[in-house]
Structure 1
Amino acid sequence: MSPEEKLDPLPDNFILQPPVFYPVIPYVTTIFGGLHTGKMVMLQGVVPQNALRFQVDFQCGCSVQPRPDIAIHFNPRFHTTKPHVICNTLHGGRWQAEARWPGLALQRGASFLILFLFGNEAVKVSVNGHHFLHYPYRLPLSRVDTLGIFGDILVKAVGFLNINPFMEGGREYPVGHPFLLKNPRLEVPCSRALPRGLWPGQVIIVRGLVLQESKDFTLSLRDRSAYVPVTLRASFTDRTLAWISPWGRKKLILAPFLFYPQRFFEVLLLCHEGGLKLALNGQGLGATSLDQRALEAAGASDQWQYP
C-alpha cells in the first residue's frame, strides 16, 4: 500500500486496541472507546518476590491535579499476615467504603493472568482462570476512559478484548491454551503443534501487527503427514479474505479487509462438529465445512505465514 493510499473505513466494532507488552510501571493509558458492558481487560505478569502491594485503577480521566475519579480500584496487598484484595471507588477526592476479599489467589514470585470482565452492574475479576470477585459499580461505567497500573508488579502484557463472538449473548472470552513465551513475538513462518489436538469447542487465537511490506497472511491446519485440509488466507494484493481448500479452490469471506500495515488484528477459529467458525477482531464472520476425520487429523499442528 502506497503512503498516499488511504485505509478503507472500518466499522468501529472491527477496530481493536493493540496490546501493550512490558510497560514501564507506573503505567497510564487511554482505553479506546472507553468501557462498556461486555468489554474485557486482560493483565498478564509476575508478582515480584518482595512485593508489598500494587493497584489497577480504571479512572475517569488522566489528570494529575485534581486527581481523577477512580471508578474501580483493584488493590492486592501482600505485606499483611493474610494477603487480601481491596476494591474501592474514589469520588470527588474521597475514598468510599472499602470492600475486602481474603484468600488472595496471587503469590509473591508467581506468574498470573487477571481478567476484568465488565457487566451491566458490576465488574467480575478472575485470577488464573478462576472467578475471584465481583465489585458493583459506584460510578457510571461510561465515565471510565483510562487505565492506570501502579506499585510492585511486573506486567508482561495488557490486552483489550471483546466478548465471545461465537456465543449468542455470551459474556465469557473463548478459553485458550496460549504458548508461554519469554518474548511475545514469534518469528514467521512458523509451525506449532496443538498439544491436545483439535476437538469441538477448541479455539485457536492468533493476534499480531501487520508489517509495512506484507504480501499475504495464511493460517493453515495440517496433520503429521503435512496434509492441509484448510487454509485461511488474507491477500494484500486484491484485499480479499478466503478459505482455501486442499485442491486450491477459493471461497471468499465477505467482510471488511482489516489487514493493513501497522494495524493490530485478532483471528479466532472455533472448532465445531463439521467445521470451523471464524471471527475477526471480535466479530463472527461465518464458518467453513470440514469432514470430522479431517478435523481430527488436523490436530497435529497449525502453521501461519506472515511475510
Structure 2
Amino acid sequence: MAFVSPLGYQPVYNPVLPLRQPVYGGLRPGMSVYIQGMIPHHAKSFAVNFTCGQFDGSDIAFHFNPRINEKQVVMNTSQSRSWGGEERKNDGFLFHKGGYFELVIFVNPGGYQVNLNGSHFYHYNHRIPLERVDNVHVNGDVTIQSLSVVGGGGGGVAMPPAYPPSGVAPMPGYPSMNLPAMGGPTYNPTVPYRANIPGGVTPKKTFVIRGFMPMGGQKFNINFRSSSGDIALHFNVRLNEMTVVRNSHIRGSWGSEERGMSNNPFVPGQYFDISIRPGNSRYKVYVNGQHFCDYRHRFSALQMITTLEIDGDVVLSLVQTISDMTFVSPLGYQPAYNPPVPFRNPIYGGLQPGMSVYIQGMIPHHASRFCVNFACGQYDGSDIAFHFNPRFDGKDKVVFNTLQSGSWGGEEKKKDGFPFHKGRHFELVFFVNPGGYQVNVNGSFFYEYQHRIPLESVDNVQVDGDVTIQSLSVVGGGGGGPMMTPAYPSDGVMPLHGYPSMTLPAMGGPSYNPSVPYRAFIPGGVTPKRTFVIRGFMPEGGQNFHINFTTSSGDIALHFNVRLNEFTVVRNSLLGGCWGAEEREMADNPFVPGQYFDISIRTGNGRYKVYVNGQHFCDYAHRLPDLQMVENLEIDGDVVLSLVQF
C-alpha cells in the first residue's frame, strides 16, 4: 500500500529561470512538452529550446522564440554553433504582456507540432535527428508555472487534446491543465464530475485526482458511490472549517465523521495530487505524495461501488484510474541525473524531519569552491537555512552558515578530515533531523549543523560552483525522528573507481548496496500484488548479468538475462532441469555499461510485466503457474546493485 505515481509525469512547478529539464531516455515520437506560463509586463522575448546536451553551445534541434514587442515567433535550429534559416509566424500571435498561456509541443515523427492555448499554431520539421534531443531549456522574459515532459513510446503521431469549452475556462491566472493524453486519464473534466468505474472498486485499482481550489474556494468533495446510491467514502475538503471530513452514507444515514489529520495540505491556488488506494480492509489516502489518512471500509462490497463523483469549489486537471499492472514508481525518489550547475531542485511539500538529500558528484581539477544551499525560496536573495561550502584554497576547509534577510550569520568551519579531492568522486548525504542537518560524506559522519531557520521554511536545494553532479535526490519524508545512517558498503563490495556506491538513506525498508551474488527469500512467495524493484548499473567492461525468480526445488520461474555481448536480453524458465524456449524480442536495449538502470518486475495473474527506466520492456507469460512456490530472488553477474526492494 505504499504510495505510487506514474514515472515521468510529475510537473516542475514554478521553476527558476533559466531552466534546464533533462528528458530521461531521450525524446521520442509520441512525447510532448507542456508549459503553463505568464508573460511579465516588461517582457521582450523568451525561448524554449530542445537541445542535444545540457551545456551552453550544445546543438539546438528546435528553437521556439516568441518576440513580444515584434509580435512574432521565430523558429530555428543551431548546429555546431551556427543558426540555420529562420521560420517566422506573425499571424495569430497569442503571447500578451500580463497574460497567461498554455504551450504544448507535440513530438511527431516528422516534426514538432506547436499548440498554443488549445489551438494549432505551427509545425516545424525536424532538422536534427530526434534521438539526439535530451534536454528542454527555457530562458528569457517569462514566468513558468509548470513544465512537464509527458509520455513516450509509440511511433505514431501525438494527438493534441481538446481544449476545454468556453463554459469551463479557468479563472484568470489559473491554468486549465490541458495536458496531452497520458495513457488514458481524463484531462480537464468539468465539475460536477461523474464517471463509471468499470468492474467496480477493487484492491488492484488506484484513483488519482489532480487539480486545485481557486482563490475564494471553500470546499469540495469526492464520493465513491454504489449502484444503490450508498456513499462508501465521502472525502470532503472544508477550508471554511480548516478540516477534511471522511464519512459514509449508507441506507440513507450518515455515519460518524472522521476528522483527524496531522496537517491540512489543501490551499487555495495551489495544486494538489490525491491518490486513493483501496485495500482489503481500508482506503489509504495520499495527498501530494504524503500519507494523509486511512479510512476503514464501512461498505464492504467493494465491487458494488461503481461511480466516482467530484463536486464543489475545485478545478480538475486530471482524473485517472491506475490498474495493478500499470507501471508505478515512488513519488519523489526519481533522481535528477547529470543536471547542469547551477541547479535548483524544488522540495515539493517543503523539508521535513526524516527526509534526506543525496548527492553524487565529482570535483573538477580546476575547482576553487562549490556550495549546496538549503534555501527558503527559489530566487536570488532568498534566505539560506543551511549553506554548505567546501573551499579548495590551499587551506582546504568546509564553511557552514545561514543567510537571513540578506545578511550572513556567524561562520562555522571544519578543516580536519577534509573529504573532497580534485579529480575524485564523492557521495554527500544530508540527513534532516529535528535539531539540525547531519552531513555524511563518503559514508562517514562529517558534521552536524544546528537549525537557525525553521525547517518548514525550506523549499529548495541549490547547487552551484565548481562541481559536476551525477545525481541528486530528495528522499523520504514523514516521521519526526532522526534519519538512520545507512551502512557504507564493506571493503568487499566497494564500487569501481568513478562509479557511485548509491549509499542512499533507507527508503521504507529496501536493501541498499547489497553484495553480488545477491539472494533473498520472498516471504509468502510471489503474488500478483507484488512489485520487485532492482536498481543499479553495469560497470564498464561488463558483459552480462541475470535476475532469477526460483523455487525451493531449484526451478527458475523467470530468468531475465541481460547479455551485452549478444546485444540482447533473454527471458526463459528452467523447469524440471530443462530450459524452455528463449524469448528475445525487444524494441530496444536500455542497458548500457556505466549508466543507471531501474527495473520494475510486476507479477500478474497471467504474466510478469517488466519495465526498465519507466518504460514497458516486455511481458513474460507464466510457465510456472503456482506463483507462491516462487520464493527466492537471485541476482548475479556484471552488475553493481544500488537498491533491491519488494
* TMscore range, shorter length: 0.5 to 0.7
> In the aligned structure 1, how far is the partner of 2:452 from the partner of 2:499?
39
Which whole-Å deviations, capped at 9, do the CAs of 1:231-286 have from their partners, x for residues lacking one? Answer: 98426999999xx99943236xxxxxxxxxxxxxxxxxxxxxxxxxxxxxxxxxxx
Q: How does 1:3-22 map to 2 (within 5 A)?
A: 3-6=183-186, 8-9=207-208, 10=275, 11=286, 12-13=289-290, 14-22=330-338
1:197 correspondence with 2:517: yes
Residues 237 and 79 of structure 1: is their aligned pair in 2 closer, same or farther, counting only changes over 3 Å? Answer: farther
> In the aligned structure 2, how far is the partner of 1:238 from the partner of 1:302?
30
Quote the residue 1:206 is aligned against. Answer: 534
Quote the residue 1:88 is aligned against. Answer: 401
1:124 correspondence with 2:438: yes
- Displacement of 1:42: 0.7
| One-letter amino acid of the structure 2 residue matched with residue 156 of structure 1 | Q
> In the aligned structure 2, how far is the partner of 1:8 from the partner of 1:239?
23
> In the aligned structure 2, how far is the partner of 1:21 from the partner of 1:181?
18
| One-letter amino acid of the structure 2 residue matched with residue 234 of structure 1 | R
Pick aligned residue for 1:25 from 329, 332, 341:
341
Aligned residue for 2:351, secondary structure, equals: coil
> In the aligned structure 2, how far is the partner of 1:128 from the partner of 1:68?
30
Aligned residues, how many?
A: 235
Residues 205 and 113 of structure 1: is their aligned pair in 2 closer, same or farther, counting only changes over 3 Å? Answer: farther
RMSD over equivalenced CA pairs, Å: 4.5
1:148 correspondence with 2:462: yes
- Displacement of 1:199: 6.2
CA contact (8 A) 1:219 1:233 kept: no
Which whole-Å deviations, capped at 9, do the CAs of 1:170-199 have from their partners, x for residues lacking one? Answer: 633476669769899xxxxxxxxx754336
1:102 correspondence with 2:102: no
Greater shift, 35-44 or 169-178, is seen at 169-178
Quote the residue 1:284 is aligned against. Answer: none
- Displacement of 1:300: 3.5
CA contact (8 A) 1:164 1:174 kept: no
| One-letter amino acid of the structure 1 residue matched with residue 406 of structure 2 | G
Quote the residue 2:77 is aligned against. Answer: none
Residues 122 and 199 of structure 1: is their aligned pair in 2 closer, same or farther, counting only changes over 3 Å? Answer: farther
> In the aligned structure 1, how far is the partner of 2:405 from the partner of 2:520?
50
Quote the residue 2:145 is aligned against. Answer: none
> In the aligned structure 2, how far is the partner of 1:171 from the partner of 1:221?
31
- Displacement of 1:62: 1.1
Which whole-Å deviations, capped at 9, do the CAs of 1:190-239 have from their partners, x for residues lacking one? Answer: xxxx75433679xx96359xxxxxxxxx964569xx95378984269999
- Displacement of 1:144: 0.4
Quote the residue 2:556 is aligned against. Answer: 228
Q: How does 1:39-50 map to 2 (within 5 A)?
A: 39-50=355-366
- Displacement of 1:160: 1.9
- Displacement of 1:301: 5.0
> In the aligned structure 2, how far is the partner of 1:229 from the partner of 1:174?
32
Residues 183 and 116 of structure 1: is their aligned pair in 2 closer, same or farther, counting only changes over 3 Å? Answer: closer
Quote the residue 2:626 is aligned against. Answer: 249
| One-letter amino acid of the structure 2 residue matched with residue 108 of structure 1 | K
Aligned residue for 1:142, secondary structure, equals: helix
Aligned residue for 1:79, secondary structure, equals: coil
CA contact (8 A) 2:369 2:389 kept: yes
Residues 138 and 157 of structure 1: is their aligned pair in 2 closer, same or farther, counting only changes over 3 Å? Answer: same
Pick aligned residue for 2:448 from 117, 122, 134:
134
Aligned residue for 2:556, secondary structure, equals: coil
Question: What residue ranges of structure 2 are gaps of 5+ in the alignment?
Answer: 1-180, 187-205, 209-274, 276-285, 291-329, 501-513, 522-531, 537-545, 560-599, 610-620, 642-646
1:56 correspondence with 2:376: no
| One-letter amino acid of the structure 2 residue matched with residue 140 of structure 1 | P
Residues 15 and 88 of structure 1: is their aligned pair in 2 closer, same or farther, counting only changes over 3 Å? Answer: same
Question: What residue ranges of structure 1 are gaps of 5+ in the alignment?
Answer: 185-193, 209-217, 252-287
Residues 161 and 2 of structure 1: is their aligned pair in 2 closer, same or farther, counting only changes over 3 Å? Answer: closer
CA contact (8 A) 1:221 1:301 kept: no
Please identify the structure whose Cα radius of gyration is greater.
2
TM-score normalised by structure 1 residue count: 0.62
Higher relative contact order (CA 8 A, sep 6+): 1
Aligned residue for 1:8, secondary structure, equals: strand
